Amino acid sequence: MLVFNFWFFSGLAIISALLCITRRSPVVSAMWLVVTMFSIAALYIILGAQFIGAIQVLVYAGAIMVLFLFVIMLLNLGRDEPTDLPGWWGHAITFGIGTLLIVELWAVTRIVPAGEVRLPAGTMDRVMEQEGVVGAISSTLFRDFLVPFEITSVLLLAAVVGAVVLAKRRI
């Protein structure tokens, strides 16, 4: 059942990603991207990262996609325009580069982590059971990665200030 769910949501994610990059209207593309985000959140949960799955739905499918749709509506890009997809040569070049990339990445997936860095089987499940789903992440985040976490808050502040300055009427 788990394997069936994994392949179901993988197929959904790939098909909706394909539709996202080929639809003409930006609004339709954004809607297919939301489907992709939800499928990837389901994949996270199947792979044992329930907390990240919830964050994915909140941050990506919620906040970031609303921002995208908001900008599309603000700029009034929703109407049908002549397609911006290039001719057959553009498709051919993209297809070639994409195939090359897939082959390359597929070769990378053949590599298995070396035995000494790999945790014994079932370790993550045991840690999750002992500390809870959120506890396992938060103890690592606030103990080993505290400084990067604080730096992230500075980054977000800089992004907020930068966005306000850039989107002002007179730049």
Span 98-137, contacts to other proteins by CB under 8 A:
98, 101-102, 105-106, 108-110, 112-113, 117-119, 123-124, 127, 136-137
Query: Does residue 37 bind other proteins (CB under 8 A)?
Result: yes
| Chosen residue from 48, 126, 129, 132 binding other proteins by CB under 8 A | 48
Query: Does residue 141 bind other proteins (CB under 8 A)?
Result: yes
Residue window 63-102: x/- pattern of binding to other proteins, with contact defined by CB under 8 A: xx--xx--xx-xx-x------xxx---xx-xxx-xx--xx
Minimum CB distance to other proteins smaller for 97 or for 129: 97
Angle at 1 between CA 13 and CA 18, to 5 degrees: 10
Question: Shortest gap between Cβ of 129 and other proteins (angstroms)?
Answer: 13
Angle at 35 between CA 16 and CA 74, to 5 degrees: 105
Cβ atoms of 56 and 44 closer than 8 Å = yes
CA distances in angstroms from 24 to 9, 15, 21, 44, 85, listed in the order given? 24, 16, 9, 29, 8
Pair of tokens at residue 3: 């394997």
Number of amino acids touching other proteins (CB under 8 A): 84
Residue 50: name the closest of 132, 133, 124 by CA.
133
Report the alpha-carbon distance of residue 69 to residue 75 in Å, rounded.
Answer: 10
Query: Does residue 146 bind other proteins (CB under 8 A)?
Result: no
Query: Does residue 17 bind other proteins (CB under 8 A)?
Result: yes
Question: Shortest gap between Cβ of 163 and other proteins (angstroms)?
Answer: 4
